[in-house]
Amino acid sequence: MLKINKFTFENKELREQAFAIRHNVFVIGQNCPKHLEYENEESSTHFLLTFNGKAVATARHRKTKLGYKLERFAVLEKERGKGYGHEILKEILRDLVNFQGTIYMHAQVDVLPFYEKLGFKKIGNIFEEANINHYKMILDKTKH
């Protein structure tokens, strides 16, 4: 059974499960510097997707001066292609459904089509973040 938990930094049990996924995907899998991976945790709202009790995906959002930034989307490598990323993204968008401002992210180049399917559009030029090429993407609310 698929379940998505929304939680804050104070929930140590869920936080440790989410951080383990992020460590596996970003720090080990993509060689992201650890000090860049774990920042703004206390000011973020976190999400953890479990399937049959196993933590398989995570993401978060946080309020910035520009709007809400969606961040740290991670699905364990062996669990990719099963729709978990879309499920957690849809849950975050449901959580922000009443927010009238900008919803945006910095998306890695290789996953742009994933976000475009759910209404995000690429803006601006390519840039490097944590040694990985990204584009800023903004949610096109006319598609929601």
Could you list the pLDDT tens digit for every one of the 144 residues in the chain?
999 999 999 999 999 999 999 999 988 888 887 877 778 899 999 999 999 999 999 999 999 999 999 999 999 999 999 999 999 999 999 999 999 999 999 999 999 999 999 999 999 999 998 888 999 999 987 765
pLDDT the model gives residue 144 = 55
Which domains occur in the chain, in start order? 2-143 (3.40.630.30)
Q: Please give the structure tokens belonging to residue 31.
A: 């060689």
Long-range Cβ pairs for the range 76-80 (8 Å, 24+): 76/21, 76/24, 76/25, 77/24, 77/25, 77/29, 79/51
Give the separation between CA 98 and CA 100, rounded to whole angstroms.
6
pLDDT the model gives residue 35 = 74
pLDDT the model gives residue 47 = 98
Q: pTM of the predicted model, to two decimals?
A: 0.93
Q: Please give the structure tokens belonging to residue 36.
A: 């860049």
Spell 110-123 as b/e; 16+ CB within 10 A means b.
eebeebeeebbebe
